[in-house]
């Protein structure tokens, strides 16, 4: 079982789909978290993977757990050096690229400083592919590293809608080709989120009014009022009353 939120494509979902793991998805409205959710993750964040009576959380940890618990098909190389380099690729994107992505989104316009910051880290990803000389970060086919990097490149059209950031003008032909190939990947197609819903979700998110129920009922209409959220909380943490276990009256 994967506990997630309907508005986003998570790393755990991609790995589960890539491995053909039979699973149920339980969507959680992060503005109105059920009390039991904090028993699974005290941080109150998604995704959470439940398996064999236990559970794991944190995005990379959950994905790595699925890779190890369901070893076939392998998404990592058997070559330890190749595997180490794959981790270097997605760790750079996790530590540098994702914060730059959200900083520009938070600005909400073509801020020169934040645009340059994101382009610089996208440039690093381009350099990785150039040195690798393979179509994917995993090599000749999509693998674990590709799925760890992909969710934010799925969001690039949304970022263009909100900030005018255009990946195609970033002078990164290898990365753009990677994006084009990833869009054709059956796993990506299976897990993708409607682009219009993605833009609607993040437009509310950066304005401090996230709605995590968008798309949960198959429509784009918000089903209930959004909870105000400070813009700096773009790391996934909610306001205190949605971040903490509800106090019993």
Is the pLDDT higher at 216 or at 14? 14
The rounded mean pLDDT for the chain is: 83
Same fold, 1-73+212-249 and 80-184: no
* 128 has pLDDT over 90: yes
What is the third-level CATH fold of 1-73+212-249? Glutaredoxin (3.40.30)
Strand runs (DSSP E) across the chain, as ranges?
Answer: 2-4, 25-27, 48-51, 54-57
Cβ contact 44:87 at 8 Å: no
Stated as kind and residue range, the H or E segment containing 66 is helix 59-69
- CATH match of 80-184 with 1.20.1050.10: yes
Residue 31: what pLDDT?
Answer: 74
What is the sign of the dihedral through the CA atoms of 221, 226, 231 and 235? negative
pLDDT digits (tens, 9 = 90+) for 39-71: 888 888 888 899 988 899 888 999 999 999 999
What pLDDT band is residue 10 in, cutting at 50, 70 and 90?
confident
3-state secondary structure of 30: coil
What pLDDT band is residue 133 in, cutting at 50, 70 and 90?
very high
Is the pLDDT higher at 57 or at 181? 181
What pLDDT band is residue 24 in, cutting at 50, 70 and 90?
confident
Residue 228: what pLDDT?
Answer: 38
Phi, psi torsion values for 27, nearest 5 degrees: -85, 135
The residues, ordered by sequence, that sit 6+ positions from 64 with a Cβ below 8 Å of its Cβ are none
pLDDT digits (tens, 9 = 90+) for 76-88: 999 999 999 999 9
Annotated domain spans of the chain: 1-73+212-249, 80-184
Cβ contact 46:30 at 8 Å: yes
Whats the size of the chain, residue-wise?
A: 249
pLDDT digits (tens, 9 = 90+) for 96-109: 999 999 999 988 88
Cβ contact 47:3 at 8 Å: yes
């Amino acid at each position: 079982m994967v506990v997630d939120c309907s508005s986003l494509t998570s790393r755990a979902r991609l790995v589960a789909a890539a491995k053909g793991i039979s699973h149920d998805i339980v969507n959680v409205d992060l503005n109105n978290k059920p009390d039991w959710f904090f028993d699974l993750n005290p941080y109150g964040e998604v995704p959470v993977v439940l398996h064999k009576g236990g559970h794991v959380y944190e995005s990379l940890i959950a994905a790595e757990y699925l890779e190890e618990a369901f070893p076939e098909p392998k998404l990592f190389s058997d070559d330890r050096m190749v595997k180490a380099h794959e981790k270097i690729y997605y760790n750079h994107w996790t530590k540098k690229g994702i914060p730059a992505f959200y900083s520009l989104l938070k600005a909400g316009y073509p801020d020169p400083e934040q645009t340059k910051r994101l382009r610089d880290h996208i440039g690093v990803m381009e350099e990785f592919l150039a040195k690798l000389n393979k179509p994917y970060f995993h090599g000749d086919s999509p693998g674990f590293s590709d799925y760890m990097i992909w969710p934010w490149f799925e969001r690039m059209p949304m970022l263009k809608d909100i900030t005018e950031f255009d990946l195609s003008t970033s002078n990164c032909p290898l990365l753009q080709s990677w994006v084009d190939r990833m869009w054709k990947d059956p796993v990506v197609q299976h897990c993708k989120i409607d682009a219009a819903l993605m833009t609607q979700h993040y437009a509310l998110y950066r304005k401090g009014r996230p709605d995590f129920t968008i798309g949960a009922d198959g429509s784009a209409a918000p089903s209930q009022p959004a909870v105000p959220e400070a813009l700096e909380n773009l790391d996934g943490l909610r306001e205190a009353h949605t971040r903490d276990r509800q106090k019993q009256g």
